[in-house]
Structure 1
Amino acid sequence: MAIIKGSDYLERINKLQNEVWIGGEKVTGAISEHPAFKGIMKSKAALYDLYHHSDKKDLLTCWDEKTNEYHSFSYSQPKTKEQLRNRRQATQLLARESGGTMGRSPDYINTAIMSLGSGGAGMPKPYGDNARKIFEEAREKDFSFTHTFINPQVNRSKHYMEYSNEKIIGAKVIDETEEGAIIHGARLLATQGGITDQLLVLPAGGNFIEPSFVYGFAIPSNTPGLKFLCRESYAHGKTSSYDYPLTSHFEEGDAVVVFDHVLVPWERIFIYSDPSQVQTMYDETNMNVLLLYQAVSRQAVKSEWLLGLSEWMVRTINVVEHQHIHEKMSEMIISLEIMNSLLIAAEEEAQPNKHGTMIPDIRKLGAACSYYQKTYPRLVDALQQIGASGFISLPSEADFHSSIKEDLHQYLQAANEDAYERVRMFRLAWDLTMSPFGSRQTQYERFFFGDQVRLSSSLYMNYPKEPFVQQVQSFLKKR
């Protein structure tokens, strides 16, 4: 199979009959037709179809001489800087289909699976072998993944640990059998939970982790006892591409994952019980670096979109002559140039790891991630200030097809657009920044890859500062 089509993806997920709950009801029938999931699943299917376009196939697919098949670029191990750049260009091609708003396009977690496959040889046996087999199956079948790596927010004190087996909250190992480990409890934040082939479970962070909470595995989304409890959908009833141009197509959904005495086969486990294996896995695979590379590539595209949308608004309402507008637009430009520069620098300073994977420079990517966490909300605020009151009284598409349409065309026109196109543009900007979908986008980018303070602290603690200290001290010694 190797490269699936959009129809294959939809058919496969429908057949899985994953246990998905939303709005107080269990999803029955074809999940791809459910109002909460129809838009995002159709958009994902469109991404899979891009792989079969003759003008995009060279970028989005890679030929594997061992299997004599084409595979998704996201499952291909980059071994040269050129292959790394091609990977970024492919990620950005997919990201431009959604303006960077689909945080979990298939290539994101595929990247994690690829890193497990390429770095598994350095992990303890049999777990490294398991990681390699998980990767090979995913590549062959072109699986899609959601993932979870956070325990429920019961008590965020750094000294809090959950010991009781009487009332389990965070998912933990409660038993072992010949077939595998029994997992019971919950995990958070599976974006697109229930609409993927598989679930990747990564170890939770923290310095005080009981062995029963230390595990990493990948299982089918329809594994018995596995449930996805979805938050309220922002897309339910939002079918108009005019009124909700982003929500109606790219609302991914987020879910709490419940493990109700789930049996995880031993051969699907790549980390188990030993906390030291967690750091070994990240060291051998460079998973976080490669995931950051994908994410920063997507965020650069999002910056392109914010710049383009803001400039369209500036021209439409004819405020281009005002200096405070220039200041806001210049921040859009600066953010885009910074993100692109850090991406290119990360590629130029990439080095192969011991498994032959070309790894982009983590310092540049860490700086980009921390920068964007703080910058994206400011860019959203700038766009809102440019549009000002224009965001407040926006009619719907239905209004333009009603008896008041002439009034709307007369009174809502702009300097350089008619009323219908002006409102279309404003509704896009509103959906990106002010709708429930847009508010989630801001929160998502604000906390992407972790808390801002912790990421900044990590950047500071791990950055090689000593050469610069010595440079300054050497200067004084010469005087």
Structure 2
Amino acid sequence: MGARRGHEYLAGLKDDREVWLGAERIDVTEHPVFAGSIAGMAAYFDYQWEHEADCLFSSPDSGDLISVAHLRPRSQEDIQKRHVAFERFAKYSVGMLGRTPDYVNVVLAGHVSRTDLWEKASSPVYYERISNYQEMVAEKDLALTHTIVHANIDKSIGELDGANADLTLQVVDRTDEGIVVRGAKLLATLGPIADECYVYPATPIKPGYEKYAISFAIPMSAPGVVVVCRDHYGVDESVEDRPFSSRFDEQDGVVIFDDVLIPHDRVFIDGELDLYNAVNQGTATGCTQQQTSIRSAVKLEFAYDLLVEVAKTTGQDTRPDVIQLLGEVHAYLGITRALIHSAEVRASDWGGGAYFVHDDIGLLRNIMSEWMIRVNEIIKTIGSHNLLATPTQAAFDDERLGPLLEKYLPGAKDISARDRAKIMRTAWDFAGSALGSRIELYERFYLGSIGRARMLEHMKAQRSGDSGALKAFFEQTARSTGVPAEA
């Protein structure tokens, strides 16, 4: 089959999936609230064909054109091919969609690429299953969501202890057909409008908690899979007035597994801690974060250009304080680009023939979320009240109102009132709208807690020997002064 078109994606959503919005069970293909989001995702599938040279390649299995996101990287050439594709995919939404299908596709391709990690499994059948699944997803061009966070409500105790123990996803029965799972998982971004859900390892699990150490994939329409949506932030307005909210609310949902049967051929990890704790840890940085970092760079590039236009529109582009803010954002972009380039040129075989970028790209986890929050703050600072004085594009077409708006709400430096409104509305939708606020929260946590990332960075540095500079300095001082270093 190969890469799909938008209408084929839409056809795939017509099933019996159980999706709840508020107190209403809805059909996502017919509910008016979801219309913009579904149309926006369908356009993503058409977009990959519009940019076929960047986004698609010939499948080694069928010869059909499939997404580059399914590529199992084996060389520097593959790294560059992925870079081009990830950048092109991100430009579809200028980085505002964090969970376009290429994201989980990359995760899955990374997991399958590390053949050496699957040698920890008790049987080769587990690798055969996930390899077959990845091939099927690639050839059918399925849109995947994922759920990997334990549903723990009491953070004062262990995430799988006490009141939390019965909440999160676990094996509760075994049958001839497969395993039966029960519990909840967070947070399935794109979940209500995805084809399938891939449940895979996140943080390590300790001995004694094997029933939680599971990985599998299941259609969103499987009996017992219940998706509970947050409020929807998409709006029924024109793309010119709400470029992001009109089509890019990818929706988040809690997934409740109400005694769901997972067929054996869809079970990839079943209680094997060594395998569970190794798979994502051995792929997330080098494989997945190439995609996430490039998306972030595309978003920063857009934010910088948007800010320059906001400053010009308000006549602030020559003010020293504003120029400093613009330079700050461009510095974030420059650092991001440099780190991506450095990690890509130092790509290597991570094991099993999997060729991933250098894990220094993981440094962006320690700073990227703060940059994204800071960018929104700068947009609000430079845009100020102008972000709220924004007529719609249709208002300019009114015989009575249009001339008044052109006279009283123009931009600086001969920028028309219509263009001024378009720029300011884009800035508000980016940083201040309901969707903009949701995306800011998403940026804070989509690669995990920044605090945990920094702790892991310190521990990694200590393990790799990034210490001893102080001792060396003392020894050098001792040699030059004749005073023992111990002193």
Distance in 1 separating the partners of 2:152 and 2:40:
31
2:29 aligned to which of 27, 32, 40:
32
CA distance in 2, matches of 1:444, 1:366: 18
Alignment counterpart, residue 80 of structure 1, candidates 68, 75, 80: 75
Paired with 2:32 and 2:52, the residues of 1 have a C-alpha distance of 31
| Structure 1 position 44, deviation (Å) | 2.2
Corresponding pairs, count: 470
Q: Deviations over 1:289-341 (max 9, x none)?
A: 31111101100000001011001111112111110011100011101100000
Q: 1:445, CA displacement in angstroms?
A: 1.0
Q: CA deviation at 1:277?
A: 2.1
Q: Show the counterpart of 1:139.
A: 138
Q: Distance in 2 between the 1:169 and 1:332 partners?
A: 42
- Provide the residue aligned with 2:485 in structure 1: none
Question: CA offsets per residue over residues 33-81 of structure 1, 9 Å max, x none?
Answer: 433322222222222223333xx32321222344333221011112112
What letter is aligned with 1:148?
T
In structure 1, list runs of 5 or more residues that go unmatched.
Answer: none
Cα displacement (A) at 1:245: 1.3
C-alpha separation between the residues in 1 aligned to 2:255 and 2:326? Answer: 41
Q: CA deviation at 1:206?
A: 5.3
Q: Which residue does the alignment assign to 2:471? A: 473
Local SS of the residue matching 2:276: helix
Pair 1:162–1:103, CA change in 2 (3 A): same
Partner of 1:49: 46
Residues 1:9 and 2:21 are matched in the alignment: no
Of 427-436 and 61-70, the range deviating more from structure 2: 61-70
The residue that corresponds to 2:455 in the other structure is 457
Report the equivalent of 2:283. Answer: 286
Q: Distance in 2 between matches of 1:245 and 1:280?
A: 41
Q: Which residue of 2 aligns with 1:260?
A: 258
Counterpart-to-counterpart distance in 2, 1:180 and 1:17: 22
Alpha carbons 1:190, 1:254 under 8 Å: kept: yes
Q: 1:64-103, aligned counterparts within 5 Å?
A: 64-103=59-98
| Counterpart contact for 1:151–1:204, Cα < 8 Å | no
Deviation at 1:380, TM superposition (A): 1.2
Q: Does the CA-based 8 Å contact 1:19-1:228 persist in structure 2?
A: yes
**Partner Cα separation in structure 2 for residue 260 and residue 466 of structure 1:** 44
Q: Distance in 2 between matches of 1:142 and 1:232?
A: 28
Q: Is the 8 A contact 2:104 2:145 kept in 1?
A: yes
Asked if 1 retains the 8 angstrom alpha-carbon contact of 2:188 and 2:254, the reply is yes
Q: Quick one: distance in 1 between partners of 2:76 and 2:278?
A: 25
2:320 aligned partner: 323
Q: Is the 8 A contact 1:121 1:128 kept in 2?
A: no
Q: Match for 1:372: what amino acid?
A: M
Partner of residue 60, structure 1: 55
Distance 1:73 1:92 in 2: 11
**Amino acid of the residue matched to residue 140 of structure 1?**
E
- The CA distance in 2 between the partners of 1:347 and 1:45, in whole Å, is 31
The separation in 2 between residues aligned to 1:387 and 1:153, in whole angstroms, is 40
Equivalent residue number for residue 425 of structure 1: 423
Shift of 1:398: 4.8
1:117–1:131 contact (8 Å) kept in structure 2: yes
Match of 1:22 in 2: 21
Asked if structure 1 preserves the Cα contact closer than 8 Å seen for 2:6 and 2:45, the reply is: yes
Which residue matches 2:311? 314
Structure 2, unaligned runs of 5 or more: 480-487
1:464 CA displacement: 5.5
Post-superposition CA distance 1:142-168 (Å, at most 9, x none): 111000011224111353534689x94
Deviates more, 1:171-180 or 1:393-402: 393-402
Give the AA of the match of 2:349.
P
Q: Specify the alignment match of 1:404 in structure 2.
A: 401
Structure 2 match to 1:249 = 247
Aligned residues of 1:120 and 1:131 also touching (Cα < 8 A): no
Whether contact under 8 Å (1:116, 1:135) holds in the other structure is: no
Partner of 1:334: 331
Corresponding position: 1:193 with 2:210? no
Show the counterpart of 1:270: 268
Out of 386-395 and 33-42, give the one that drifted further.
Answer: 33-42
- Alignment of 1:374 with 2:373, yes or no, is no
Residues 417/310 of structure 1: CA separation in 2 closer, same or farther (3 Å cut): same
Contact 1:247 1:437 in 2 (8 A): yes
Partner residue, 1:233: 232
d(CA) in 1 for partners of 2:306 and 2:457?
A: 32
Q: CA deviation at 1:203?
A: 3.2
Q: 1:177 maps to which residue? A: 175
| CA distance, structure 2, for counterparts of residue 414 and residue 238 of structure 1 | 27
Maintained 8 Å contact 2:429/2:435 = yes
1:335-381 Cα distance to aligned partner (Å, 9 max, x none) = 11000000000101111122212111112x11112111111111111
Cα displacement string for residues 93-140 of structure 1 (whole angstroms, at most 9, x for unaligned residues):
111111100101111000112123222464112222211111111112
Query: 90, 102, 105: which one pairs with 1:107?
Result: 102
Q: Which amino acid aligns with 2:138?
A: R
| CA positional deviation for 1:221 | 1.1
**Which segments of structure 1 move beyond 6 Å, counting only runs of 4 or more?**
none
Q: Which moved more, 1:416-425 or 1:43-52?
A: 43-52
In structure 1, the residue matched to 2:482 is none
Are 1:230 and 1:255, in contact at CA under 8 Å, matched by a contact in 2?
Answer: yes
| 3-state SS in 1 of match to 2:255 | strand
Give the direction of change, closer, same or farther, for the CA distance of 1:477–1:121 in structure 2 (3 Å limit).
closer
Question: Retained in 1: the 8 A contact 2:54–2:88?
Answer: no
Residues 4-29 of structure 1: CA deviation (Å, up to 9, x unaligned): 11111111122x3321111321113x
**Local SS of the residue matching 1:20:** strand
User: Is 2:151 the counterpart of 1:152?
Assistant: yes
- Identical-residue share of aligned pairs (%): 28
What's the offset of the Cα at 1:276?
Answer: 2.2
Contact kept in structure 2, 1:120 and 1:129, CA below 8 Å:
no
- Give how far 1:466 is off: 6.1
Range with greater deviation from structure 2 (113-122 or 395-404): 395-404
Q: Give the Cα separation in 1 of the matches to 2:95 and 2:204.
A: 30
| SS at structure 2 position matched to 1:247 | coil
Deviation at 1:287, TM superposition (A): 3.7
Distance 1:271 1:207, change over 3 A: closer
